[in-house]
Structure 1
């Protein structure tokens, strides 16, 4: 795919119309997949814009999809990051591609690997470690291990922008498919509950989270401002 990204408040996002299109793109060009939602667009800083624009931003939220459709990209779809990484595993594991996982607590990463091996028999996980890198020596050891083991796909679950900055260092040592996952390992292993499927299917995950955690209201108010800016053509 040529660089036909759409700029939303200076954040450049690819108008992917399906998971298959995204997969074809990242397999051909390698790179770091960065989830884009309304908050990342609305609260973009010079640093976060630069990180996203160096990499592969995709619509992870309904707000981002709405903004893209407002720009004339009516076929753009939401690709939830917490689902995307498992789709990558399902698509690439049968091809004997190799995986490397970084992030979360030790108990969670171990549970993640165990569940992946159960759900995807034969999956080739070359290594994994928790997301608590305590020293520069540990950081360099991780980068060296990535360069040595040369995984085809690397998942890093540490939160933004920390995970993207680390993946950029990894990518300099070894080109691969990279994806930042935030808290997806916790969701996958049941340590954090995602919204029920009905809420997901109707693009109401934000409402479900608000009901479960009313303190999020301050963040959700910003979504109203985002929607207004989209409607006014200012995003």
Structure 2
């Protein structure tokens, strides 16, 4: 009886399938479904997938029409347009338009008002470029044999690129191609909108100049003006030296503290390596007519340094923060940089009578690198006083780094760091502890920088740095 029922159900389903496929009503329903699917694709899906191109077309056209009273005189002042050979989407060749201006008196005027590249709006109008996308490159600039290079050509080049935004925020630590591939993998309408918004503060910061001077001074603090890669290379070289070295990171709060604490200022002035940390230092240097190459902070440096130390046998000793935090950082190193040795760890809450025992513990560990997370200025003063007793080759104060890599506090999202707004995220995390430092301290810092600019103390400090 059961088998008969099963057979009957199968026959019923077959009849229904044949009816749907071949009967007049069934064929009509199939045609209706195809029409609906086509209408959805044509009216909804396809327009949405072309939203970026439609906006590029609309905005570039409006800009060209609206700016025509400026662009037309600029055209005659420059002596015409020049064409720059570029590679566009799918590696196709196109000419990027720009005002000539090289052999005309009006070219200097256009450069002063940053008008030289405005004809690129024509490229966006024609579809050669987009407002957002990887930087347009010339043929031969990137190796055509690399598969990764061809992946960046899957999208149109643009005026605003992820690499450009990170450069302006001084956090472009990797290669440009890496940022381009990240964009290709994550781009979309809302991602482009977000990148465009992040470009607004980026335009105010100015870019770190790779050829900027190697030493700068700010509020009487001389600093080594290095990129992240150069700082790591310098640290690795010092780890091989007999003479122990002290590394200090200086942010706006550190500069404020040093302004009142003469001993701390002296330590910073005599540090073997002093690095600029944070958007506040970048803005301060800009006011003084200087350029900071990159934001070399301990939090971003730490994983890269661990990777560089992997397999070298040079161990790290972690000292500071609350009980259990340094141990959690050691676990992070074991999981994320397994070839890197953690020679020991200890929390920062020890009584004065245990200090000699702690110093002996660090010395006996055989560590080459000591990271101290006591907070400024205590960590730098402590290192300066006890560096030779620890037996390490290099020690650096790392502030709140342990809190991030232990998982106690989350790091600010990358998009906030790209906007130079990480301090706002930290303020939201710990308003009771940090409100004075950020809301009052940042204002005081900028006031002191402007005062130095106006009354010439900066110039005197610069002369002393050059003589040194």
- Which of the five TM-score ranges fits, normalised by the shorter chain? 0.7 to 0.9
The answer as to 2:229 corresponding to 1:9 is no
Taking the aligned partners of 1:52 and 1:77, their CA distance within structure 2 comes to 19
Cα deviation for residue 226 of structure 1 reads: 2.7
2:244 maps to 1:25? no
State the shift of 1:71 in Å.
4.2
**Contact kept in structure 2, 1:33 and 1:178, CA below 8 Å:** yes
Number of the residue aligned with 1:83: 300
Q: How has the CA–CA distance of structure 1 residues 39 and 160 changed in structure 2, closer, same or farther, with 3 Å as cutoff?
A: closer
1:110, 1:27 → 2: CA distance? 24
Q: Which has the higher contact order (CA 8 A, sep 6+)?
A: 1
Matches within 5 A, 1:1-235: 5-16=215-226, 18-29=227-238, 31-44=245-258, 45-55=261-271, 56-136=273-353, 138-173=354-389, 174-215=391-432, 216-219=434-437, 220-231=439-450, 233=453
2:50 corresponds to which residue? Answer: none
> Structure 1 regions of 5+ residues with no counterpart?
none
Q: Mark the CA change 1:209 to 1:183 in structure 2 (over 3 Å): closer, same or farther.
A: closer
- Taking structure 1 as the reference length, the TM-score comes to 0.86
Q: Specify whether residues 92 and 72 from structure 1 end up closer, same or farther in structure 2 by C-alpha distance, changes over 3 A only.
A: farther
Separation (CA, whole Å) in 1 of partners of 2:302 and 2:352: 28
TM-score, normalised to structure 2, is: 0.45
Query: In structure 2, what is the Cα distance between the partners aligned to 1:42 and 1:159?
Result: 14
Question: Structure 1 CA distance, aligned partners of 2:381 and 2:428?
Answer: 33
Please list every run of 5 or more consecutive structure 2 residues that lacks an aligned counterpart in the other structure. Answer: 1-213, 239-243, 459-468
C-alpha contact 1:102 1:131 (8 A) present in aligned 2: yes
Are the aligned partners of 1:90 and 1:120 in contact in 2 as well (CA < 8 Å)?
A: yes
User: How many residues matched?
Assistant: 231
Q: Are the aligned partners of 1:69 and 1:76 in contact in 2 as well (CA < 8 Å)?
A: no
Instruction: Provide the rounded CA distance (Å) in 1 between the counterparts of 2:277 and 2:449.
Output: 17
Question: Cα–Cα, structure 1 residues 126 and 218, in superposed 2: closer, same or farther, change >3 Å?
Answer: closer
Task: State the Cα deviation string for residues 155-201 of structure 1 (Å, max 9, x = none).
Answer: 11111222222222442132512121222111112211222111112
Answer yes or no: is the 8 Å Cα contact 2:369–2:394 preserved in 1: yes
State which structure, 1 or 2, has the greater radius of gyration over its C-alpha atoms: 2
- The DSSP-based 3-state class of the residue aligned with 1:224 is helix
Distance 2:384 2:401 in 1: 20
Structure with greater proportional helix content: 2
More displaced 10-residue stretch of structure 1: 169-178 or 122-131: 169-178
Mapped partners of 1:210, 1:107: distance in 2:
24
- Report the Cα distance in structure 2 between the residues aligned to 1:210 and 1:61, rounded to whole angstroms: 14
The answer as to whether partners of 2:246 and 2:395 remain within 8 angstroms in 1 is yes
